[in-house]
Structure 1
Amino acid sequence: MPKVIAEEGVAPARARDTRLVWLLGPALVAGVAYLDPGNVASNMTAGALFGYLLVWVVIAGNLMAWLVQYLSAKLGIVTGRSLPQLLGDRIHRPWARRAYWLQAEVVAMATDIAEVIGGAVALQLLFGLPLVWGGAITGAVSIALLVFQARRGARAFETVVIGMLLVIAIGFCAGIVVAPPDPAGIAGGLVPRFEGTQSVLLAASILGATIMPHAIYAHSALSRDRFRPAGATGPAMSAARIGSLLRATRWDVTIAMAVAGTVNVVMLLLAASSLAGVPGTDSLEGAYAAIREGIDPVVATLFAVGLLASGLASTAVGAYAGSEIMAGLLRVRVPVVVRRLVTLVPALAILAVGADPTWALVLSQVVLSFGIPFALVPLVWLTARRGVLGVFRNRTLTTVAGAAASVLLIALNGVLLWLVATGG
């Protein structure tokens, strides 16, 4: 067996390593979850209501997300199993496994709701379609993407999703070129602080939209499926091969988080510089109207196109994650298309009853925030165990960083509950 160095089991580089570009992809697909309509609603609302106050939350969340997504990918590559599969093997009591699945399923459904609502709002802004029809069209397109994935494979699916990622980035970043933010305001937003219960609610929403539980579950499965690791059918991979994949994965995650983090910060800065204090801009529809009237109609159209691409791309990734959660924890494999049809119902119901779509998006991200510890704590625990990853287990510093992120997120959720309960 090749000699493995201590740095998280990374093997020495080899001249015959597969080209880096070919190994990129899974993190970029998972990274679409960091640019879904829930992110748009949370960041735009935070900027419109509180200006630059919560810039630090977006940046801190993105830094934590890098670590989380790398650990998830590493788990899938080294073990050949996804996080839900490993948890399903270790939670022996059926009632406990079902309870864990239930909370993960609620998180996945909250994700589905956010993505369908976002696509519906975008179609209404672009074409004037009723929200319910827009939601149905978004669901239909997501089903087509899932069928495409099943027939053409992971690589072709990655290409389509990454193409949408570029559309999302252009659509959301165009406005910042026309209306640049205030440097002093940005600097002030880097100082950690809150201003009342609503700012804490939005901070939890931003973190829930940034460190998304379903992306943690999905990334381990995406990496497993892409690289046929030791646990998959076929010959086991050598330590050198695993080390090469982990090096490529760090690049993959870095690129994905750089893109997602930049776009998320830009969304908040755009709202803070151009929409703060403008009536009605705490909603996606109001933000679109304000951008159209106050900045440029073309920029507003690009914003709506970016929102549409965000909903379409992320809804396919969300359905993939939900299917993996059910298969891993309940050992029941439901076709992703069937699952997509079922989870489409609550999103269409919310649109049909006339609920405010923007706040439905924000609250869905708060639900995601409360699901983070249930995915993050087991992830850190499993990747730190020699019995699971062997020589590729986390270094102590990595485990400490993951534990610190878990504690911070749990504490934020606790503060949020206390503020809401006391009316603070």
Structure 2
Amino acid sequence: MPKDSAAVTSLQVASGPARATVKPTRLLWLLGPALVAGVAYLDPGNVASNMTAGARYGYLLVWVVLAGNLMAWLIQYLSAKLGIVTGKSLPEVLGIRLRRPLARRLYWLQAELVAMATDLAEVIGGAVALNLLFNVPLLAGGVITGVISMIVLSVQTRRGPRTFERVIVALLLIIAVGFTAGVFVSPPDPAGVLGGIVPRFAGTDSVLLAASILGATIMPHAIYAHSALARDRFPQSLGRAGIPRLLWATRWDVSIAMLIAGAVNLAILLLAASALQGIDGTDTLHGAYLALQATLGPVVATIFAVGLLASGLASTSVGAYAGAEIMHGLLRLRVPLLARRVVTLIPALLILGSGFDPTEALVLSQVVLSFGIPFALIPLVWVTAQRSLLGHFTNRWLTTAAGTLAAVLLVALNLLLLVLTFSGS
């Protein structure tokens, strides 16, 4: 019997409270899907948004990172629960419930545009990292990033979800070290951090960056991907008897993943606020790298660039997985992952070849993602509240209320962004 199945079976036959019966060694075999989905919260778009926010406004937007991470925990848990209980991903559920072909295609179109914006950020981030580390031209760096991501995706196709998880988690560890090392060399100001917890803005640009941070933190494709990852990891043939304990293990999985993602995102902003604020050019990845090199030394700067490269490689692989699931669930078309990877690489290569500022493209891509959040989040909260779909595992009213509140806040922030932008204030 496969180890994953043995772990689940042991949970099904265990008696008594889950906390007393689940052995740590067994629990470890049930962790993984959230860590893979959590890579989406540490993509190069996060780096650009958080670095720019810290360099421009210091600790002002610390509260945005914290609030986004809290909302992300609930959102990712609901996504995983949907995949475990129903055996279907969110795109598959919506593909069934949106019965009119036009509605399915329009929904797919917006989801596809969001997925493309995600991929754009991730490939650009990998290209910039290769340029910083090895002076590789940006266009060539984009091609290399795309090729390596194809190799990573082939692992998922040929070796299955567990091996794919191991590769992504290894890259996740590199990302965590790369983006947090600088904070230990240049510690943040405790008073500034505490002051940044108070919600406030400082003009239109700070609202734009807040929307960008949220778009990078709560990523629509992570919502779509997590339900599919959980579905693939815990097949329905294992039976429904073990679902409560699988959900318990999933809460641990999501908590660990979001703790890592939140700590790293916060570290990026704090590093920029403590070491890069007031330095010209630090609102670009290249400028931030040079500033880190000048202020904290070449070792910290190099570690940062290695983390950026790992971020681009891991997140673009997960993004391609999510994009393929979106197309399969909504259009009922199964496109090979590698073929899709080639097609979705084109927009990023066009941007890199055009000479457009890569950091600006990263930040703008995160804003696009923030507008795609409601289209993923609202349906997720809605379907997980349907007793006809989830039965005994449907959301409690408090969970639905919290998810609804998160959706309302995110939509309100985007509307505020539009008003401030077009009013010129």
Shorter-chain TM-score: which interval?
A: over 0.9
Q: Distance in 1 between matches of 2:22 and 2:292?
A: 51
**1:125 maps to which residue?**
132
**1:227 maps to which residue?**
234
Cα distance 1:413–1:279, how it changes in 2: closer, same or farther (>3 A)?
Answer: same
Q: Distance in 2 between matches of 1:341 and 1:320?
A: 13
Which amino acid is the alignment partner of residue 15 of structure 1? T
Q: CA RMSD in A?
A: 1.1
**2:21 maps to which residue?**
15
1:150 and 2:151 are equivalent in the alignment: no
**1:46 maps to which residue?**
53
Which amino acid is the alignment partner of residue 204 of structure 2? T
**1:104 maps to which residue?**
111
Match of 1:134 among 141, 144, 150: 141
Normalising by the residue count of structure 2, what TM-score does the alignment of the two structures yield? 0.95
Structure 2 gaps of 5+ residues are 1-15
Q: Distance in 2 between matches of 1:21 and 1:406?
A: 32
Q: In structure 1, the residue corresponding to 2:338 is in which secondary structure?
A: helix
Which amino acid is the alignment partner of residue 183 of structure 1? P
Answer yes or no: is the 8 Å Cα contact 1:12–1:243 preserved in 2: no
**2:392 maps to which residue?**
391
Q: Distance in 2 between matches of 1:397 and 1:95?
A: 34
**1:190 maps to which residue?**
197
Cα distance 1:385–1:12, how it changes in 2: closer, same or farther (>3 A)?
Answer: farther
1:215 and 2:217 are equivalent in the alignment: no
After superposition, give the CA deviation of every residue in 1:314-368 in whole Å (9 maximum; x if it has no partner): 0000000000000000001111111110010000000111000001000000000
Query: How far has the Cα of 1:19 moved from its partner?
Result: 1.1
**2:268 maps to which residue?**
267
**1:84 maps to which residue?**
91
* Identity across matched positions, percent: 71
Counterparts of 1:11-410 in structure 2, within 5 Å, are: 12-13=17-18, 15=21, 19-229=26-236, 234=237, 237-239=239-241, 241-410=242-411
Query: How far has the Cα of 1:149 moved from its partner?
Result: 1.1
Which amino acid is the alignment partner of residue 166 of structure 1? L
Structure 1 stretches (4+) deviating beyond 2 angstroms? 11-18
Q: In structure 2, the residue corresponding to 1:46 is in which secondary structure?
A: helix
Q: Distance in 2 between matches of 1:296 and 1:53?
A: 26
Aligned length: 408
Q: In structure 2, the residue corresponding to 1:81 is in which secondary structure?
A: coil
Q: Distance in 2 between matches of 1:74 and 1:166?
A: 25
**1:6 maps to which residue?**
none
Q: Distance in 2 between matches of 1:423 and 1:121?
A: 32
Which amino acid is the alignment partner of residue 383 of structure 2? L
Query: How far has the Cα of 1:15 moved from its partner?
Result: 3.5
Q: Distance in 2 between matches of 1:282 and 1:33?
A: 21
Q: Distance in 2 between matches of 1:101 and 1:86?
A: 13
Which amino acid is the alignment partner of residue 266 of structure 1? A
Structure 1 gaps of 5+ residues are 1-10
Query: How far has the Cα of 1:12 moved from its partner?
Result: 4.5
Answer yes or no: is the 8 Å Cα contact 1:32–1:314 preserved in 2: yes
Q: In structure 2, the residue corresponding to 1:238 is in which secondary structure?
A: coil
Q: In structure 1, the residue corresponding to 2:334 is in which secondary structure?
A: coil
Query: How far has the Cα of 1:421 moved from its partner?
Result: 0.8
Which amino acid is the alignment partner of residue 379 of structure 1? L
Q: In structure 1, the residue corresponding to 2:21 is in which secondary structure?
A: coil
Q: Distance in 2 between matches of 1:356 and 1:238?
A: 51
Q: Distance in 1 between matches of 2:22 and 2:215?
A: 40
Q: In structure 2, the residue corresponding to 1:181 is in which secondary structure?
A: coil
After superposition, give the CA deviation of every residue in 1:64-108 in whole Å (9 maximum; x if it has no partner): 000000000000000000000000000011111100000000000
**1:8 maps to which residue?**
none
Q: Distance in 1 between matches of 2:384 and 2:411?
A: 20
Query: How far has the Cα of 1:16 moved from its partner?
Result: 6.9
Query: How far has the Cα of 1:220 moved from its partner?
Result: 0.1
Q: Distance in 2 between matches of 1:385 and 1:28?
A: 27
After superposition, give the CA deviation of every residue in 1:214-251 in whole Å (9 maximum; x if it has no partner): 0000000000000002xxxx4x6133x00110000000
Which amino acid is the alignment partner of residue 124 of structure 2? I
Normalising by the residue count of structure 1, what TM-score does the alignment of the two structures yield? 0.95
Q: Distance in 2 between matches of 1:159 and 1:318?
A: 17
Q: Distance in 1 between matches of 2:119 and 2:100?
A: 28
